[in-house]
Each structure stands twice: as structure tokens, then as C-alpha cells.
Structure 1
Amino acid sequence: MIEMQGEIERKDGGGLDEKFDIGTLSTSSTGSIFLTIGYHQLEGSRVPLKKPFAILEKDTSEGSTGYQVVGVVREKYKFSARPRPLISKPRA
């Protein structure tokens, strides 16, 4: 789970409910988390959740509805600072 302040908008106008890559997630030896989106980099940290929660999948079989646990989220990556612009070397 990733927590951010603000919004992520797609340039092509597609919704966030569709599957797409938003960036590259990496870690440092100090435990910091970095999320690079285009030419911007966010620095964050790994935070345990006070109460873990389950990811459920709806199961409809034989006329009845049930739910199956497909995962448990125990921590989140929290990015609270503004993104830092990455400046690349201009092409010659």
C-alpha cells in the first residue's frame, strides 16, 4: 500500500482504476524508499499499520456469494514530502 499527499494524473486521460505502471520503487541501504515517476523522485519510509487489513476477492458460486482472502496488508510506504525534480544531462 502506498500513501501520498496529492493526486496522480495520467497524461492520456485514462482512469486510475485501469492497470498501469506509475513509476519505479527502490530502496536504499539506510531503509529509505524512493519512488521515481517520470522526472520526479519522492522519498519516503516504510511504516507498519496499526491494524492489518485483508484484501478480499468476491466469489460467486452455485448461487451464493462469499469472499476469499487473497492477501493481508501489514505495512505501507508513506511519502509525505514534495517530489524532487531530477535533472538529467542535456543531450549534445
Structure 2
Amino acid sequence: MLVPLTAEEGSSRPWALLEMQGELERKDGGSLEEAFDVGTLSVSSSGSVLLTIGYHQLEGKRVELKKPFAVLDRTSSEEGGSTGFKVIGVVREKILFKARPRALITKPGGK
């Protein structure tokens, strides 16, 4: 089956994939598909990446993908009912977080 692809003009914005170990859950119980603020991502000049989520900090690195892949948006035609896809971005790198998160704040040690 042939599916038509079109590219969005000005889609030269860089895209990256975040790869983490474990699960990411929302505190309020909402779904991850809804838009929400996950945390703060900062990149140092040496290339290391820090992701701060609440009281946790993950350290990662940028990794070039062997094969880039496209981010698609489904479009449908009103007249013929045909479905097509529009390329909205190309992912060329991923940010890999291998280690467990580091706690930024510890509980006071008292008896």
C-alpha cells in the first residue's frame, strides 16, 4: 500500500529522543499523552546532559542514531477518505540516561 508523505516547510528544527530506564509517572495521576512540564533539561559545553525532575537529577549523554527516523502526523482527506502522513520532524540523536537518578534533597537524619 502506498501512503503519500509530505514535508512541513521549515521543519529543520532538531528533534531528539529521550531514553530512560524505568517508568515516568505523573503525581496527579493524569496520562502522559497530555502536554505537561516534565522537568528541566540542560546541556553543558562538555556534552553531558542533566535532566532535573522534581527532587531527582539524571545525568546522560547525547548519542547519534545509526539510522535517523521521521516523526509523522496523520492527515486525512475529507473527500476521498484517504489517509496520508506529513513529516513534521526527523530524529537524528537520542539522549541516553543509563544511571539511576540522584536525589537532590535528603531527609534529615534524626532519631
Establish whether TM, by shorter chain, passes 0.5: yes
Partner of 2:95: 77
| 1:6-43 deviation per Cα after TM superposition (whole angstroms, max 9, x unaligned) | 00111110111111111000011211000000011000
Distance in 2 between residues matched to 1:20 and 1:44, nearest whole Å:
22
Whole-Å separation in 2 of the counterparts to 1:29 and 1:54: 28
How many residues align? The count is: 89
Moved over 2 A (4+): none
TM-score, normalised on structure 2?
Answer: 0.76
AA matched with 1:24 = T
Structure 1 segments unaligned to the other structure (5+ residues) = none
* Identity among equivalent pairs (%): 70
- State the structure with bigger RCO (CA 8 A, min sep 6), 1 or 2: 2
Distance in 1 between the 2:50 and 2:69 partners? 24
Q: Find the residue that maps to 2:85 and give its secondary structure.
A: strand
Match of 1:42 in 2: 58
User: Aligned-residue CA RMSD in angstroms?
Assistant: 1.5
* Counterpart Cα distance in 2 of 1:21 and 1:48: 25
Q: 1:65 offset after TM fit, Å? A: 1.1
From the two aligned structures, give the one with the greater strand fraction. Answer: 1
Q: In the alignment, residue 21 of structure 1 is paired with which amino acid?
A: D
Q: Which runs of 5+ in 2 are unaligned?
A: 1-16, 107-111
Q: Aligned partners of 1:27 and 1:34: how far apart in 2?
A: 6
Query: In 2, distance between residues paired with 1:56 and 1:40?
Result: 32
Question: 1:32 is matched with which residue?
Answer: 48
